[in-house]
């Protein structure tokens, strides 16, 4: 059984991005030199390590494409014998079916998050109503007259 | 963390819900954290999954003894989460209700306990198209933004003041 440390946490990083691949994200973590264990999978990464390091790594990876990279906790550490398919005689890992169903929905969720972000930035721009300055009014009149 | 609202999610192991709750600045209450506490405990009393005789007793607080043991076993992990709940997001008709979270009786009991707790609840349907996904994300975002992001600590201050006043009266 892999060595278990109680203050360590594990996170799934699920990548549903057109510009970031799991391999890119893994390389980014290796470059960052955080003391974490990384396992590359078909859907993304599994990261295990001390809590602060894992949270920092996850935030760093999320910033690569924040609306298309999704994160959730995992109970078992990466490569744990109780969940590893190699020691269980093959077959899908428990919990994989639900993850696969959700991964299928992630492009639509990512697009919805993009739209939400765009809408918020438009609202911020047009949200504030304020009195029109005389200088601005003059510019508008001049622009209209010069047509 | 004291500065976040603890949001219960159903399905309890959902990637999308856990991520959205965390993204909008709150703490998701998920099954994975409960499992981690069990399986990464240094003193494994009962390997491999560390299920001890204490667990069914915890489950008995939420389900009677004649209820199937699977329900009680699951409630031993999910029940403590419901007690911490300050808000909840319940997704109806999730596509894969099988496997470890596929016990429908447990799910019914869990949803009943959350609803009867009287916390703010958002109930949405699992998206099946891009349009649905947009509504799904917008509803969840609006709900999460409406929750308090900072614990003002007023409640605790009131509780602290009361005993001091009583002492003064005596």
ipTM over 0.90: no
| DSSP assignment letter at B53 | T
Average pLDDT across chain A, whole number: 87
SS3 B9: strand
Chain A environment of B13 (Cβ under 8 Å): 72, 95, 98
Instruction: Please state which CATH number belongs to domain A8-127.
Output: 3.30.70
Tokens 């409640």 belong to B155
Across the beta sheet with A8-15, the strand order is: A37-40, A44-50, A8-15, A69-74
In order of A44, A89, B14, B100, B130, the CA distances from B31 in angstroms are 21, 26, 9, 10, 28
What is the average pLDDT across B65-90?
A: 92
pLDDT at B155 over 90: no
Mean pLDDT of B57-79: 90
Rounded-to-integer distance, Cα A71 and Cα B22, Å: 9
Predicted confidence band of residue A86 (pLDDT cuts 50, 70, 90): confident
Asked whether residue A141 carries a pLDDT value surpassing 80, the answer given is yes
- The pTM (predicted TM-score) of the whole model is 0.81
Overall average pLDDT of the A103-107 stretch:
92
**Nearest CA distance, A110 vs chain B (angstrom):** 9
Contact flag A112-B134 (C-beta cutoff 8 Å): yes
Judged against a pLDDT cut of 80, whether residue A77 lies above it is answered with: yes
Whether residue B36 and residue A75 make contact (CB cut-off 8 A), yes or no, is: yes
| Residues B111 and B117: beta-carbon distance below 8 Å | no
Burial code (b: 16+ CB inside 10 Å, e: under 16) for A54-86 equals: beebbeebbeebbbbbbbbbbbbbbebebbeee
């Amino acid at each position: 059984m892999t060595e278990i440390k109680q203050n360590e946490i594990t996170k799934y990083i699920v990548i549903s991005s057109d510009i970031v691949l799991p391999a890119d994200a893994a390389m980014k973590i290796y470059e960052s030199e955080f003391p974490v264990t990384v396992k590359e999978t078909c859907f993304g990464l599994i990261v295990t390590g001390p809590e602060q390091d894992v949270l920092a790594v996850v935030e760093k990876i999320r910033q690569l494409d924040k609306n298309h990279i999704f994160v959730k906790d995992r109970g078992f550490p990466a490569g744990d014998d109780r969940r590893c398919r190699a020691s269980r005689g093959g077959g899908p890992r428990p919990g994989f079916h639900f993850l696969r169903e959700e991964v299928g929905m992630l492009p639509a969720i990512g697009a919805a998050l993009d739209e939400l972000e765009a809408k918020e930035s438009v609202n911020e721009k047009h949200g504030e109503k304020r009195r029109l300055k005389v200088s601005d009014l003059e510019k508008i009149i001049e622009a209209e007259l010069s047509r | 963390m004291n500065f976040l609202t603890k949001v219960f999610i159903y399905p309890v192991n959902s990637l999308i819900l856990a991520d959205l709750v965390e993204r909008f600045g709150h703490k998701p209450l998920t099954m994975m954290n409960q499992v981690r506490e069990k399986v990464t405990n240094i003193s494994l009393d009962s390997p491999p999954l560390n299920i001890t005789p204490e667990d069914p007793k915890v489950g008995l607080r939420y389900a009677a003894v004649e209820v199937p043991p699977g329900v009680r076993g699951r409630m031993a992990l999910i029940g403590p989460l419901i007690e911490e709940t300050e808000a909840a997001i319940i997704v109806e008709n999730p596509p894969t209700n099988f496997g470890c979270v596929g016990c429908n009786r447990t799910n019914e009991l869990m949803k009943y306990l959350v609803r009867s707790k009287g916390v703010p609840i958002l109930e949405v349907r699992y998206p099946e198209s891009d349009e649905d996904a947009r509504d799904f994300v917008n509803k969840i975002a609006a709900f999460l933004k409406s929750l308090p992001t900072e614990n003002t600590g007023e409640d605790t201050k009131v509780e602290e003041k009361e005993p001091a006043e009583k002492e003064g009266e005596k």
